[in-house]
Amino acid sequence: MTNRPQVLRTVAALRRAMTPYRKAGRGIALVPTMGALHAGHLKLVAEARKRARRVVVSIFVNPTQFAPTEDFGSYPRTFDADMKALTALKVDAVWAPTVAEMYPEGFATRVAPEGAALAGLEDKFRPHFFGGVATVVSKLFTQVQPDFALFGQKDYQQLRVVTQMAKDLDLPLKVIGIPTVREKDGLALSSRNVYLSQAERAVAPTLHRVLKTSAQRIKRGEPIEMVMEEGASDIRHAGFTLDYLEARHALSLKPVASVKDGPIRLLVAAKIGKTRLIDNLAV
Ligand code: PAF
């Protein structure tokens, strides 16, 4: 019989549980999530297992990274199904604090990331987002004290922000980005895909298709600006409201004019119906 992971709800219980893990050596890997786990998250867990003896998954829908107009209230919460999946993967512990445990009365400190967090991508449309993410992720790192933390490359700007934050704050852990898991038709897995109607789901893979074609064209030497304009037009024609389609330096996320400017990452965010999707691809 497989053991259910221990579920920890308070910082005190988490600390008690982590002490023997740390003493046993060979590492602790943390997979931070907001639950509603899909195959992309489970890949992170499997990769965590390869790197560390103990795997901790956090499940916390973090209110500080949602604007009042966003879907904090309706964000999918599937704790029982999540636990079943994590039990099958032999996860050691699930850190699932309440909002009051994470942000107790009087909480008054925030982490304010700059650099990639102000690249004019997600931050332009969700100005509150990276402050909320950086604050909660720095708390998760301090609480669990992992040797490794694994994040999906689907949230590419988030991965860059968290990697830089860990470096800047001298946090003694390695942040690892894991490639995006996709449906057969290219759609990046996301907990928000459940919001898509059948018709929206049918056009959703357009984003990946445009990224792929654009990356090939830029690699062949076509001008980036023209490729981005045509890609944007294809996305709009498919029925999306486009927030951005951009070619950026893969590390700094600064704008690039040509392939000579360094490794390039294409990033896109667009709304179909009420659902906002993001994706990205290396050139
Ligand atoms: O990517 C997510 O699920 C969240 O932004 C994270 C990293 C768990 C922080 O709440």
User: What superfamily does domain 6-178 belong to in CATH?
Assistant: HUPs (3.40.50.620)
The contacts of residue 94 (CB under 8 Å, 6+ apart) are: 5, 6, 7, 8, 56, 57, 58, 59, 82, 83, 86
CA of 238 to the centre of ligand 1 (A): 29
* Per-residue CA distances from 198 to 121, 207, 272 (Å): 28, 16, 12
Residue 151: strand pairing partners: 177
pLDDT (average), residues 188-215: 97
Q: What is the 3-state secondary structure (H, E, C) of 30-75?
A: EEEECCCCCHHHHHHHHHHHHHCCEEEEEECCCHHHCCCCCCCCCC
Q: Which of the four pLDDT bands, split at 50, 70 and 90, describes residue 1? A: low
Residue 248: strand pairing partners: 255, 265
Residue for token pair 């982590």 = 18
6 pLDDT exceeds 70? yes
Q: Which amino acid is at 256?
A: V
Query: Where does CATH 3.30.1300.10 sit in the chain?
Result: 191-282
The contacts of residue 138 (CB under 8 Å, 6+ apart) are: 111, 165, 169, 171
270 pLDDT exceeds 80? yes
Dist. CA 173–CA 145, nearest whole Å:
8
pLDDT in tens, 81-138: 999 999 999 999 999 999 999 999 999 999 999 999 999 999 999 999 999 999 999 9
pLDDT in tens, 211-267: 999 999 999 999 999 999 999 999 999 999 999 999 999 999 999 999 999 899 999
Q: Which atom of ligand 1 is nearest to the CA of 137?
A: 9
Q: Is 227 in the pocket of ligand 1 (CB under 6 A)?
A: no
pLDDT in tens, 45-71: 999 999 999 999 999 999 999 999 998
Report which secondary-structure segment, H or E, holds 255.
Answer: none
CA of 14 to the centre of ligand 1 (A): 19
CA of 158 to the centre of ligand 1 (A): 8
Q: What residues are annotated to the active site? A: 41
Residue for token pair 């996305």 = 235
Question: What is the DSSP pairing of strand 275-282 with strand 241-249?
Answer: unpaired
Q: In this structure, which residue's CA is closest to atom 6 in ligand 1?
A: 33
Dist. CA 233–CA 235, nearest whole Å:
5
Domain 191-282, CATH:
3.30.1300.10
Q: Is 33 in the pocket of ligand 1 (CB under 6 A)?
A: yes
26 pLDDT exceeds 90? no
Query: Where does CATH 3.40.50.620 sit in the chain?
Result: 6-178
2 pLDDT exceeds 80? no
